[in-house]
Amino acid sequence: MLRAPLWSVLLLLWPTFALAESKDRPPVDCKRSGPKRAVPFSAEALPGRPLSERYAEYVGTCGQEDVVALTQQLVRFKTVSREQPPAKSPGTAALGRFLKKWAQAHGFAFRAVGTQDVFELSWGEGAPHLGFVVHADVAPAAPRAWRHEPFDPQVMDGKLYGRGVSDGKGPLATALVALAMAQEMGLKPWKGRVLLIIGNGRTSDWKGMEQYVRTQPLPPHVISLDAEYPVVVAQSGFAVLNLEASLRPREGERAGRLVAVDASAGEALTEVPASASLELVPAAGTSSEQGLALVQKALEAVRRERPTLDAEVKLRRVPGVALGSRIVLSARGRAAPSATPERGHNALWDLAAIAGQLPLSENGLTEVLRTTVRRLDGDHSGERLGIAGQDTLMGPLVVAPTLLQVKDGKVSLSLHMHRPRSEEGTDDFHTALDHAVALITQETDGWVKEGPGRSVGEPHVAKPAGALVTKLLEVYKLQRGRGEGVKPVSFRGETYARLFPGGVDFGPRLPGEPHRGQSPDEFISLEHLALNTRMLAAALQALVFSPNAP
């Protein structure tokens, strides 16, 4: 339980109830900055009120205005690590200069670790005690997909729009504001230092943060701000299995009326395909019009089974090639993170189902599509592959076919998996994958085999009943006015928390809220930003400013 700071946490729920308490109290002006703005919350202005309570009221009164303005400043730095690595990114360099200046102005130490891979703000003395971990890089944002410029953040109808406002820059701003307001109130860490650890390669290459964890002194308590509330104590292990086949037919293989010559599905390993396409050419004795009719018939047959099917077929002329026509079949689904494929609709499933109704010649692409129908279509849990697993805390194994490509005469299909912990361990999971591949190879008569690049990551699990989790759950319950049923949760995604022993995630998303960090028109409500700031302020009180801190 929270002892000393309990009332201060409760006050965060009603941050303005004491504003009229004293006739002699100076007026509150949240537009001011620095210690002068904190004067109305001083011991002289609010006699008899403990410092922790006055800090709570200060954050509740002025925190939203600060965090919205700072988030807007941070969003304007274009820090897209998938387009430019941190070491070569002008946006990341400019952000580093801004943060250094900001830290110096607010009384914090600042340093860059590596070549702009990690920035670190530090407060206090001694060994690190508590670390907040965030990321400052953001997902790509195509302006044509946005109603507003993604790197020019705008407030509209109580929401802040811009790339990173909910994923990356917003959480960074809430941490900075909570720390700055504590400093302005004269609060100090009871023991050790508080670190704000900022990774710049979260959406691309984790090497910078991995190097930081290997080489720097780490705090015993680490809180990542990159998942959801109430407290994420476990993350699935990532796994990748690649299937491969030769595109060319073997001599003497059965010929069909259509030949599959090219296909594609998916844009990223970690995302359910929103679209998929298959290119076919008529075999000898079949005209383009006849081939087109065969595909249209198959499409309609599948549509009767799947009324929501969104697919079309058309002829595409190939210039300069005699009788050069290709039949192009396209299917559309709905993208979703591979961690939550049930929120999307896999376009590859529909494409493969239609292909399964066609008289195709035997080749590697045909067999990969048939394997998709047999072993993957409609199954998120790996049951039909024989690799399903379940954990009470972490839930079921999740499997999603995410990338289909034809290149250099080879067909490849990548499966992205999120695996829970298990008593059997990693070796047994590898064995299960071996059996799945052997089954597929056997039923495709040797066409489909495993390609290079298998990867099996370990799940991350913190202590659900440890002091850090207990304190954060109490903070969440008080802030949200909820008690019963609030417990630690698991997360199928991957955050920096997994790199730190005992690391957990605390927000920023509320339970059941969709992840908007990679979507067009990313937004967060101003109320939610303010809530996140109060959450972090309350966490600081419980973990840093209290003599009962763990």
Mean pLDDT, residues 406-429 taken together:
93
Q: Is pLDDT of 500 > 60?
A: yes
Query: What's the token pair of residue 188?
Result: 């100090």
Question: Does residue 1 lie within any of the structural domains?
Answer: no
Domain identity same for 43 and 191: yes
Where among 456, 475, 496 does a domain terminate? 456
More confident site: 10 or 296 = 296
Where among 456, 484, 505 does a domain terminate? 456
Question: Does residue 265 lie within any of the structural domains?
Answer: yes
Dist. CA 329–CA 258, nearest whole Å: 12
Query: How many C-beta atoms surround the C-beta of residue 302 within 10 A?
Result: 19
- Which pLDDT does position 7 carry in this prediction? 36
Mean pLDDT, residues 408-412 taken together:
96
Q: Quick one: DSSP state of residue 502? A: T
Q: Is pLDDT of 11 > 70?
A: no
- Which pLDDT does position 252 carry in this prediction? 66
Q: Which residues contact 126 (CB under 8 A, 6 or more apart)?
A: 191, 192, 193
Domain identity same for 135 and 175: yes
Domain count, the chain: 2
Question: Does residue 112 lie within any of the structural domains?
Answer: yes
**Contact between residue 227 and residue 111 where contact means Cβ atoms under 8 Å apart:** no
- Which pLDDT does position 305 carry in this prediction? 95
- Which pLDDT does position 20 carry in this prediction? 41
Domain identity same for 40 and 165: yes
CATH number at residue 326: 3.30.70.360
Dist. CA 270–CA 152, nearest whole Å: 27
Model confidence at 19, pLDDT cuts 50, 70, 90, reads very low
Question: Does residue 537 lie within any of the structural domains?
Answer: yes
Whole-Å CA distances, 280 to 265, 326, 348, 356, 411: 15, 6, 16, 13, 15
Q: Which residues contact 438 (CB under 8 A, 6 or more apart)?
A: none
Instruction: List pLDDT tens digits, range 237-270.
Output: 999 999 999 998 877 667 789 999 999 999 888 8
Domain identity same for 218 and 255: no
Model confidence at 5, pLDDT cuts 50, 70, 90, reads very low
Domain identity same for 211 and 321: no
Domain identity same for 229 and 276: no
Q: Is pLDDT of 453 > 50?
A: yes
Q: Is pLDDT of 403 > 70?
A: yes
Model confidence at 324, pLDDT cuts 50, 70, 90, reads low
Domain identity same for 441 and 493: no
Domain identity same for 207 and 325: no
Q: Which residues contact 444 (CB under 8 A, 6 or more apart)?
A: 245, 367, 370, 371
Is residue 16 left, alpha or beta, with left meaning phi > 0 and alpha meaning psi from -120 to 50?
alpha
Helix (H, G, I), strand (E, B) or coil at 419: strand
Dist. CA 58–CA 36, nearest whole Å: 12
Domain identity same for 152 and 70: yes
Mean pLDDT, residues 356-366 taken together:
95
Model confidence at 36, pLDDT cuts 50, 70, 90, reads confident
Of 537, 508, 500, residue with least CA distance to 131: 500
Domain identity same for 273 and 221: no
Model confidence at 145, pLDDT cuts 50, 70, 90, reads confident
Q: Is pLDDT of 549 > 80?
A: no
Model confidence at 111, pLDDT cuts 50, 70, 90, reads very high
Q: What secondary structure does DSSP assign to 70-99, as a single string? A: HHHHHHTS---TTTS-GGG-HHHHHHHHHH
Mean pLDDT, residues 414-429 taken together:
92
Q: What single letter denotes the amino acid at residue 142?
A: A
Whole-Å CA distances, 310 to 240, 303, 326, 351, 354: 28, 9, 20, 10, 12
Question: Does residue 510 lie within any of the structural domains?
Answer: yes
Q: Where are the alpha helices (DSSP H) in 139-215?
A: 169-184, 207-215
- Which pLDDT does position 23 carry in this prediction? 54
Give first-to-last CA distance, the chain, whole Å.
Answer: 11
Lowest model confidence (mean pLDDT) among 92-106, 407-421, 443-457, 476-490: 476-490
Bridge partner residues of 331 (DSSP): 276, 311
Q: Which residues contact 441 (CB under 8 A, 6 or more apart)?
A: 447, 448, 449, 450
Q: Quick one: DSSP state of residue 200? A: S
Mean pLDDT, residues 443-447 taken together:
95
Mean pLDDT, residues 382-393 taken together:
94
Domain identity same for 120 and 55: yes
Query: What's the token pair of residue 342?
Result: 């049930």
Question: Does residue 550 lie within any of the structural domains?
Answer: no
Of 462, 336, 335, 483, residue with least CA distance to 394: 462
Q: Phi first, then psi: give them for residue 235, nearest 5 degrees.
A: -130, 140
Pairing mode, strands 449-450 and 193-199: unpaired
Is the bond into 501 cis (omega within 30 degrees of 0)?
no
Model confidence at 423, pLDDT cuts 50, 70, 90, reads confident
Q: Is pLDDT of 508 > 80?
A: yes
CATH number at residue 84: 3.40.630.10
Domain identity same for 271 and 286: yes
Mean pLDDT, residues 151-164 taken together:
96
Instruction: List pLDDT tens digits, range 169-219.
Output: 999 999 999 999 999 999 989 889 999 999 998 888 889 999 999 999 999
Where among 391, 421, 456 does a domain terminate? 456
Model confidence at 8, pLDDT cuts 50, 70, 90, reads very low
SS3 content of the chain, % helix, strand, coil (to 5): 35, 25, 45
- Which pLDDT does position 24 carry in this prediction? 64
- Which pLDDT does position 516 carry in this prediction? 83
Q: Whole domain around residue 174: which residue ranges?
A: 6-236+460-545
- Which pLDDT does position 135 carry in this prediction? 96
